[in-house]
Structure formats: structure tokens, C-alpha cells
Amino acid sequence: MKKIIAQNRKAKHDYFLEEFYEVGIVLVGTEIKSIRKGSVQLKDSYISFVGNEAFIKEMFIGKYDFGNRFNHDETRIRKLLLHKREIKKLHDKVKIKGYTIVPVSLYLINGIAKLEIALAKGKSLYDKRNSEKEKTAQREIEKVLKQRW
């Protein structure tokens, strides 16, 4: 059973999302408790590579209320769990100009936190406007069809 905790809607607005990957995250005890509570924000987070490892930076996980002195830092750097070949493939594609890796959503599967990341290419201002026009047109079509029934 998949329970979505947080989504990065800004990513879908700012990027063309091409390839999706499900990755694990290395967390401490109070972080998973805060995730289960739902105090997570992916808006400004991004993925970076150091050596043969992938890390997520600037992902906000709020402090756990009952964490006392063992509480975690809210925006600490967290290691992502990927296979070596996946890391190499993504790292090679990021070297190409215009590509980046962005987190799309954070969810729980049977109590285990998973992060969905995507290989993304940045949209220009024209592309953003065009996407907005298409969404508006689709909403209008659905509105008319709903009224007809």
C-alpha cells in the first residue's frame, strides 16, 4: 500500500520529467517519525553527486515533537540508496547541459520511506506558458463535458 506524504508540484511546472526512479533514503529515528506525521517539504530540494554516491540536499523534515535532545537537523544532507549502475547512469546524464535530477514525491510503502526522483530537463518561459494554456484548455473541456451530463 502506497501512502503519499509529500509532492513537489513545482518540479512538474519547472521541468520536463523524463525518467523516474524509486530510491530509498538513509534516515534517523526522529526523521521517519516526522515523515509519518507528514511534516515534509520537497519544494527547494535537489539531488547532487559526491563520488559514487547520491545525496538529497535542502529537503525539509520538521522536528519531531517528542524528540528531545536526539532530534535531527531539519535540512541536513541525506544519502540516497541507489544501485551503482543507476548512479553512474544518472551522473552521466546530469553532465549533459540542461539536465538535472529533482525529487518528485515522498511516500511510504509498508512503513518504509521511498523517494521518487526524476531525470528532468528545464523548461523555458515559453514552455511554461504553453503548459499553462494546455492545462486551462483541458479544464474547460472537462467543465463543458461535466455540464452536458
Residues near 11 by beta carbon (within 8 Å), at least 6 away in sequence = 17, 42, 102, 103, 104, 118, 120
Kindly state the cell numbers that stand for 111.
Answer: 512503513
Domains of the chain (ranges plus CATH)?
A: 2-124 (2.40.280.10)
pLDDT digit string, tens, across residues 83-127? 999 999 999 888 887 788 999 999 999 989 999 999 988 877 777
Question: Residue 56's pLDDT band (boundaries 50, 70, 90)?
Answer: very high
- The answer, yes or no, to whether residue 135 has pLDDT greater than 90, is no
3-state secondary structure of 65: coil
- Integer Cα distance of 137 and 139 in angstroms: 5
Residues 6+ apart with CB under 8 A from 38: 5, 6
> pLDDT tens for residues 16-54?
898 999 999 999 888 888 898 888 999 889 899 998 999
Is a pLDDT exceeding 70 seen at residue 6?
A: yes
Rounded Cα–Cα distance for residues 32 and 25 (Å):
10
Q: Which helix (H) or strand (E) segment is 48 a member of?
A: strand 46-50
Question: What integer is the mean pLDDT of 56-78?
Answer: 87
- Residue 13: is its pLDDT beyond 90? no
Model pLDDT, residue 149: 66
